[in-house]
Structure 1
Amino acid sequence: MNIVVLGPGAIGSLWALSLHNAGHSLSLWSRNGHHQSTLCLDTLSPVTLVNNDAEKLKDADLLLVTLKAPQVETAMQPLLEQIDPDCIVVLMHNGMGTADIVAELLPNNPLVLATTTHGAYRPEPNKVQHTGVGITQLGGHNEKGKQCQFLAEVFDHALSTAQWHNHIEQALWSKLAINCAINPLTAINQITNGELAADSYRSTLVSVVEEVAQVMNAEGIVTDAAKLEETVFNVIQATAKNHSSMQQDIVHKRPSEIDFITGYLLQRAQTHNIAVPHNTALFEQIKLIEQSWKSS
């Protein structure tokens, strides 16, 4: 396939190199103005990929969007006229809320949503490390997207394990619950994921997850709060040494994804008239931190 990766950060670079190594024609689209980018995955030989090539974008069979959620709309707006109506658009990022925006921008394109638990870290701009083996789930957002089940095989061949999920919203909401619990707390307290296992955080984590479970059930995503809590604590243990993306954003004074994680939850809770005070408190704390940078 002809594939363009929009937003080659850590995860985007991991997938770009994995898909390239699987035999696909890969190019990148990024903020840097260079026509080529050289990337190195772990100890493998460096790979040079074309960057910001309009012809490659026009010929793309697949556009893999690995930007952070707040960047998606702004980055895609200038590219709309160059994206073929048959090009499959795959959104892969933390948080929810961008799918409807992209569906409106590209109403004729197959739209697929993806979530992954693979870990990636970029110690240098041109180097990426695969820090954790995980599972990638994909599923269609619109009717055309639902016809793209073959993508599971494409992604699995490049970086296993990848699976097609007929109800991708279930997987996305489960990931959202994990992010609502882990990301704000690690960012506010400037700690690793594993430090959330301390007893002092347990009550807050349980309350946050119980609120998410209420909203999920109201959305028709049937879940059990106790099982969701178990999942969150398992992730905390499995990723104990990791710094969450929000923790890294806050420490580097970058805008976080809070609007598309906890913010999305608050929007849906309001629709169902569900009180979510613990999530609201974390949302407001992150917003206060971000606001303090502007005022200073």
Structure 2
Amino acid sequence: MNITILGPGAIGSLYAYKLKQAGHDVSIWGRSPNSTVDIQLDHLPPLPFANQNLVVLKRTDLLIVTLKAWQVEAALSPLLPLLHPDTMILFLHNGMGSVDKLANALANFPVLLGTSTHGALRVNALHVNHTGLGETHIGAWNDKGQQCQFLSDVLHHALSPVKWHTSIQHALWTKLIINCAINPLTALENCSNGQLSEPRYRHQIEQIIDEAQSCAEKVDVTLDKASLKETVFNVITKTAKNYSSMQQDISQQRTSEIEFITGYVVSIAERYQLDIPENNALFKQIKCIEASWSKHD
């Protein structure tokens, strides 16, 4: 297949390398001004990838979007008119809501949503390490996307395991609630994920989960609270030494994905007039920190 990775950060570079290893014709669309970019995975030899090549883009069979959620609309919108209408578009990023902003522009494409728990760390602009084995879950966003179940086999062959979901919203909401529970707290406490296993955080984390789960129910996604809590605390334990993306963004004064993680839950609560004080407070605290940077500039 002809595959383009939009946003070759850590996860995007991991997928690019693995898909090229599997025999696909893979290009990237990143910020580098170079027409060819080498990517190295772990201790394997670097592989060359065409970058920002319009000819390659126009014949792309699959576009995988691995940008941060807040970058998606601005980066993808100019590319959509250049794509063949049969080009499959797979969104693989944290958070929810960015695809909704592009609903009209995406209507004629086969669109899929996904989530990945693979760990990847950029050593530098050209080198990424696969730091943790995980899973990828994908499913259809629209009717045309329903016809693309074979993509789970394509991706599974390159970076297993990959699972197809007839209702991807359950997997996306589970990942969203994990992020709601871990990301803002680690950013505010400036700590690793593992610190959240301390007893003093337990009640707050459970309240975050309860509030988010009640929002999921309002949009017809039923999740078991007990299982969710077990999942969240298991992730905290398994990723104890990791630092969340939001912790890294806030500590380096970069725009975080708070709007598309906790902010997405807050927007649903407002729509259905639900009281979610814990998530509201975390959202406001992170937004306040981000606003303070511009005041100091």
TM-score (norm 2): 0.98
Who is 1:103 aligned against? 103
How far apart are residue 85 of structure 1 and its match? 0.4
Describe how 1:176-187 pairs up with structure 2 within 5 A.
176-187=176-187
Which string of whole-angstrom CA distances, capped at 9 and with x for unpartnered residues, describes residues 209-253 of structure 1?
010111112221111222111110000001111100000100110
Deviations 1:13-69 (A, max 9, x none): 000000000000000001121101101000111101100000110000000000000
CA distance in 1, matches of 2:244, 2:173: 18
Name the structure 2 match of 1:138: 138
What letter matches 1:183 in structure 2?
A: N
Structure 1 residues 72-87: aligned runs within 5 Å: 72-87=72-87
How far apart, CA to CA, are the structure 1 residues paired with 2:34 and 2:104? 30
Distance in structure 2 (CA, Å) of the matches to 1:178 and 1:194: 14
Partner residue, 2:277? 277
Q: Secondary structure at the match of 1:78?
A: coil
Instruction: State the partner residue of 2:247.
Output: 247
SS at structure 1 position matched to 2:11: helix
Contact 1:99 1:141 in 2 (8 A): no
1:52-103 Cα distance to aligned partner (Å, 9 max, x none): 0001100000000000000000001221221110000000000000222233
Distance in 2 (CA, whole Å) between partners of 1:272 and 1:101 is 20
4+ residue runs of structure 1 moved beyond 4 angstroms?
none
Q: CA offset at residue 140 of structure 1?
A: 0.3
Aligned to 1:89: 89
Match of 1:175 in 2: 175
- What are the within-5 Å matches in structure 2 for residues 145-294 of structure 1? 145-294=145-294
Corresponding residue for residue 41 of structure 2: 41
More deviation in 268-277 or 44-53?
268-277
- Structure 1 unaligned residues grouped into runs of 5+: none
The residue aligned with 1:17 is 17
Shift of 1:155: 0.6
The answer to whether the Cα contact below 8 Å between 1:122 and 1:128 also exists between their aligned partners in 2 is yes
CA RMSD of the aligned region, Å? 0.8
- Quick check: 99-108 or 200-209, which moved more? 99-108
Task: Provide the rounded CA distance (Å) in 2 between the counterparts of 1:46 and 1:31.
Answer: 19
Question: Do residues 3 (structure 1) and 7 (structure 2) align?
Answer: no
SS state at 1:275 partner = coil
Q: Which AA in structure 2 matches 1:195?
A: Q
Contact 1:138 1:162 in 2 (8 A): yes
CA distance in 2 between counterparts of 1:46 and 1:13 reads: 11
* Aligned sequence identity (%): 50
Q: Give, in whole Å, the separation in 2 of the partners of 1:176 and 1:275.
A: 18
Counterpart of 2:71 in structure 1 is 71
Letter in 1 for 2:138: L
Q: In 2, distance between residues paired with 1:208 and 1:164?
A: 28
Which deviates more from structure 2 when the two are superposed, residues 223-232 or residues 89-98? Answer: 223-232
Structure 2, unpaired ranges of 5+: none
Structure 1 residue 203 displacement after superposition: 1.2
User: For 2:125 and 2:264, how far apart are their aligned partners in 1?
Assistant: 31
3-state SS of paired residue (1:137): strand
Deviating more after overlay: 143-152 vs 103-112 = 103-112
Letter in 2 for 1:54: L
Aligned length: 296
**1:107-140 CA distance string (max 9 Å, x none):** 2100000100000000111000000101100000
Normalised by the size of structure 1, how large is the TM-score?
Answer: 0.99
Report how far residue 141 of structure 1 moved.
0.3
Post-superposition shift, 1:106? 2.4
